[in-house]
Amino acid sequence: MNSYSLTHLKELEAESIFVIREVAAQFERPALLFSGGKDSIVLSHLARKAFAPAKIPFPLLHIDTGHNFPETLEYRDAWVDQLGAKLIVKYVQDSIDSGRVVEEKGFNASRNALQTVTLLDALEELKIDAALGGARRDEEKARAKERFFSHRDEFGQWDPKNQRPELWNLFNGKKQIGEHFRVFPISNWTEMDVWQYLYQEKIELPSLYFTHQRQMIARDGQLLYASEALNKRPDEVPVEYQVRFRTIGDMTCTGAVLSPANSMEEIIQEVAASRVTERGTRADDKRSEAAMEDRKKQGYF
């Protein structure tokens, strides 16, 4: 009657929960990096499952660029409340005010790169030795090379040529003082897996993921939200479009897609039919062929 086989989502879930529990067992002070996007929502949902009926034994950490969609923040607070978790927020604005970073200038200015400094400062200040992140290997070519347990030196840097071998399900979290780990429990999930899982688990999402009317600026093949934070060229006039977001990040560099999708099922159909990768809407990845690799080497997620 039973063939003892698992669906791919069940198997991915089991693997991710295993990794999350390894983090809780191997490290003193972990934290879960939470952005309010669908990947960190899945990650925190898995963390809840991993420790139930107890609470998640580490805090969520949000690095707030100051350019978040208001819907994201509203969702974040409600979600954290529902999880019963502790939330720590660190602000890029504080790093700017204290002179740790300098705001980028020009029309393509973004606070995305500045986040790295705020993040590394936060990890150091809070003495976090393992930061869980929702990055996936299918997102980007440099991320395809990433380990589950990603070792970072005392400067928070990733060295792609000197990664630890990772075999079976034996994860080596040993480190020197001052070093830390980034851990990516949903490494093996694809965008499609994430959507199917959200659908299967009936998880509520920020409204940004569903279709809505929004004032947008079309720039270099991207649709950017005409928010206050976006530096506009004189000739750029906002136009209302019916859009939704496929990824949620900083308002100034996250592109939207034209879409009528109004439900999880419609989104899944849309993702299945799409011929463009999810990060095709991210201006920050398009700065150069190795943009993500370079950011990761500096200590980005």
Partner 1 sequence: MTEVFVEPEFTSAGYLDMELLRFTTAGSVDDGKSTLIGRLLYDSKSIFDDQYDAIKESSEKRGEEYVNLALLTDGLRAEREQGITIDVAYRYFATPKRKFIIADTPGHIQYTRNMVTGASTANLAIILIDARKGVIEQTCRHTIIASLLRIPHVVVCVNKMDLVEYKQEVFEGIRKDFEAFASHLEVTDLHFLPISALNGDNVVDRSTNMDWYQGPTLLSVLETTHISSDHNHTDGRFPVQYVIRPQSTEHHDYRGYAGRIAGGVFKPGDAVTVLPSGFTSRVKSVDSYSESLPEAFAPMSVTLTLEDEIDISRGDMIVGSCDVTPEVSQDLEIMVCWLNEKKLALNGKYTIKHTSREARCIVKDIQYKLNISNMERITDDNDVNMNDIARVTLRTTQPLVFDKYSRNRITGSVILIDEATNTTVGAGMIV
- Select from 70, 155, 164, 242 the one that contacts partner 1 (CB under 8 A): 164
Our finding on whether 39 is near partner 1 (CB under 8 A) is no
Our finding on whether 3 is near partner 1 (CB under 8 A) is yes
Q: In the complex with partner 1, which residue's Cβ is closer, 33 or 243?
A: 243
Residues 100-159 contacting partner 1, CB under 8 A:
137-138, 140-145
- Select from 24, 89, 126, 229 the one that contacts partner 1 (CB under 8 A): 24
Residues 177-216 contacting partner 1, CB under 8 A:
187-188, 190, 192-193, 196, 199-200
Our finding on whether 174 is near partner 1 (CB under 8 A) is yes
- The side-by-side arrangement of strands in the sheet containing 222-225 is 222-225, 212-219, 239-245, 256-258
Residues in contact with 15: Cβ distance below 8 Å, sequence separation at least 6, in sequence order: 169, 185, 188
Our finding on whether 48 is near partner 1 (CB under 8 A) is yes
Residues 69-88 contacting partner 1, CB under 8 A:
none
Q: Classify residue 108 as exposed, middle or buried by CB count within 10 Å of its CB (0-12, 13-18, 19+).
A: middle
Our finding on whether 49 is near partner 1 (CB under 8 A) is yes
Q: Return the residue matching tokens 């920020």.
A: 206
* Part of the chain binding partner 1 (CB under 8 A), chosen from 29-37, 73-81, 98-106, 172-180: 172-180
Q: Inter-axis angle of helices 191-200 and 38-51, to 10 degrees?
A: 60
- Select from 1, 53, 233, 234 the one that contacts partner 1 (CB under 8 A): 53
Range 156-163 contact pairs with CB under 8 angstroms and sequence separation of 24 or more: 156/116, 156/119, 156/120, 156/123, 156/180, 156/298, 156/299, 157/297, 157/298, 157/299, 158/182, 158/296, 158/297, 158/299, 159/297, 160/293, 160/296, 160/297
Q: Report how far residue 243's alpha carbon sits from residue 247's, in angstroms, rounded to the nearest whole number.
A: 12
Our finding on whether 298 is near partner 1 (CB under 8 A) is no
Our finding on whether 277 is near partner 1 (CB under 8 A) is yes
* Part of the chain binding partner 1 (CB under 8 A), chosen from 44-52, 71-79, 94-102, 121-129: 44-52
Our finding on whether 275 is near partner 1 (CB under 8 A) is yes
